């Protein structure tokens, strides 16, 4: 399989925010476009919970990326001008050091001996890539969902190291409703007898727990309105599981079933647990007395904050809070309230709305950069 994956290897120990250290760390990433001689055209993207660093296709890996329509020549994150780096989050199973990595001290996978993971650790791992590439100041850090939290952590940890920030469908900290849902997803995995306290084997994975967790995820990533339009009360095709008194009756159940099947086997359960909990633990107030204090200390020149009105997990009020806090600190803020129907996932789906907003924001400043380098 073609890969465009690059890996930064850090040989020194990587101290973790909530205690412990990783003896060595690898950070997987991909890049598009070219870094300018003055190294001032770099955009760093952090991802949501599940994707890899493969945000877009390239010569090295022509397969579609998770944000294909957003990144490329002439696209909103325009690789004719910008050098784009997408980071695979620390703790994710797609190349960066994670619970599936071998602990060099023991020669065994970390599994649950992996230290508590935080969003700040993910931001720091990304920052190491910037350092390694000799980038002193990013043109922008951009992230949706968990990635949006990560860019907030990046701004808090590394003041003066990015000109602009784009936070999409994120939050300064999770509300109890979202914590409850994620806690429940983790419990579904942990209650699967096959989980074995994290010591499952490749031929006996906690598949049922992962399937349930993914289905609950799908429910919370979209919106009731979208599904009402999409599925109505459509019955599932008759051939599905005949004779099962509690099987699939409705098309929406088939939809969840197929998504769960697709996801399971792609994502490591322990990695899921660590990253999911990191989202709960994140609190921008840890970087100042309050969230407002922390936002006031941000030094970015401009910020773009996007929220979606139908988002259940990261309600629009939380985006408003970010925008207000940054404005109170004197930052130039653009707050966009998207009327998309697709809930939290809108940034992956409602591209006609998201593309121009992200493109225009980056364009405003990027125009001063020489085209074609």
Token readout for 27 is 């950070």
With beta carbons less than 8 A apart as the criterion, state whether 320 and 307 touch.
Answer: yes
With beta carbons less than 8 A apart as the criterion, state whether 24 and 11 touch.
Answer: yes
21-22 and 14-15: which strand pairing? antiparallel
Least CB distance to a second copy at residue 163 (A): 31
Known catalytic residues are 145, 311, 344
Residues in the chain: 373
Instruction: Give the phi and the psi of residue 371 in degrees, each rounded to 5.
Output: -70, 145
Cα(163)–Cα(170) distance, integer angstroms: 19
Least CB distance to a second copy at residue 94 (A): 21
With beta carbons less than 8 A apart as the criterion, state whether 36 and 369 touch.
Answer: yes
Instruction: Give the phi and the psi of residue 141 in degrees, each rounded to 5.
Output: -110, 135
Least CB distance to a second copy at residue 343 (A): 10
Cα–Cα distances in angstroms (integers) from residue 225 to residues 228, 231, 250, in the given order: 5, 10, 17
DSSP string, 280-327: HH-BGGGGSSSHHHHHHT---SEEEEEEETT-SSS-HHHHHHHHHHHH
Token readout for 10 is 């850090």
- Contacting residues toward a second copy, per CB under 8 A: 112, 116, 173-181, 183-184, 186-188, 190-191, 193, 208, 212, 215-216, 218-219, 223-224, 227-228, 230-233, 245-246, 248-253, 256, 273, 277, 280-281, 283, 312, 315
Residue found by looking up tokens 């792609």 in the block = 266
**217: number of Cβ within 10 Å:** 24
Closest to a second copy by CB, 7 vs 248, is: 248
Token readout for 274 is 């660590």
Cα(35)–Cα(43) distance, integer angstroms: 10
Q: At 151, is the secondary structure helix, strand, or coil? A: helix
């Amino acid at each position: 399989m073609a890969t465009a994956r690059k890996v930064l290897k850090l040989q020194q120990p990587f101290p973790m925010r909530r205690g412990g250290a990783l003896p060595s760390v690898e950070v997987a990433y991909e890049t598009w476009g070219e870094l300018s001689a003055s190294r001032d055209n770099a955009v760093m993207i952090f991802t949501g919970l599940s994707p890899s660093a493969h945000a877009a296709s390239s010569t090295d890996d022509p397969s579609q990326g998770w944000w294909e329509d957003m990144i490329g020549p002439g696209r909103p994150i325009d690789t004719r001008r910008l050098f784009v780096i997408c980071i695979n989050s620390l703790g994710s199973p797609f190349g960066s050091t994670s619970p599936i990595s071998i602990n060099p001290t023991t020669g065994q996978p970390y599994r649950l001996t992996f230290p508590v993971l935080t969003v700040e650790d993910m931001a720091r791992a990304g920052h190491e890539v910037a350092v390694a590439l000799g980038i002193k100041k990013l043109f922008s850090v951009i992230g949706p969902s968990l990635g949006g939290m990560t860019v907030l952590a990046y701004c808090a940890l590394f003041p003066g190291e990015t000109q602009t920030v784009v936070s999409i469908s994120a939050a300064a900290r999770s509300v109890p409703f979202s914590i409850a849902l994620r806690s429940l997803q983790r419990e579904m995995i942990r209650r699967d007898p096959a989980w074995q306290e994290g010591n499952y084997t490749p031929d006996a994975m906690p598949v049922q727990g992962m399937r349930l967790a993914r289905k609950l995820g799908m429910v919370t990533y979209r919106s009731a309105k979208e599904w009402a339009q999409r599925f109505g009360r459509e019955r599932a095709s008759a051939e599905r599981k005949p004779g099962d008194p509690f099987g699939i009756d409705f098309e929406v159940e088939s939809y969840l079933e197929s998504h769960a099947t697709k996801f399971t086997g792609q994502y490591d359960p322990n990695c899921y647990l660590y990253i999911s909990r990191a989202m709960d633990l994140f609190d921008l107030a840890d970087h100042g007395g309050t969230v407002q204090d922390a936002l006031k200390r941000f030094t970015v020149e401009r910020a773009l904050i996007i929220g979606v009105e139908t988002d259940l997990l990261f309600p629009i009020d939380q985006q408003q809070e970010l925008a207000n806090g940054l404005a109170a600190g004197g930052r130039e803020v653009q707050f966009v309230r998207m009327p998309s129907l697709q809930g939290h996932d809108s940034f992956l789906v409602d591209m006609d709305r998201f593309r121009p907003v992200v493109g225009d924001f980056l364009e405003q400043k990027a125009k001063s950069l020489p085209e074609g380098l």
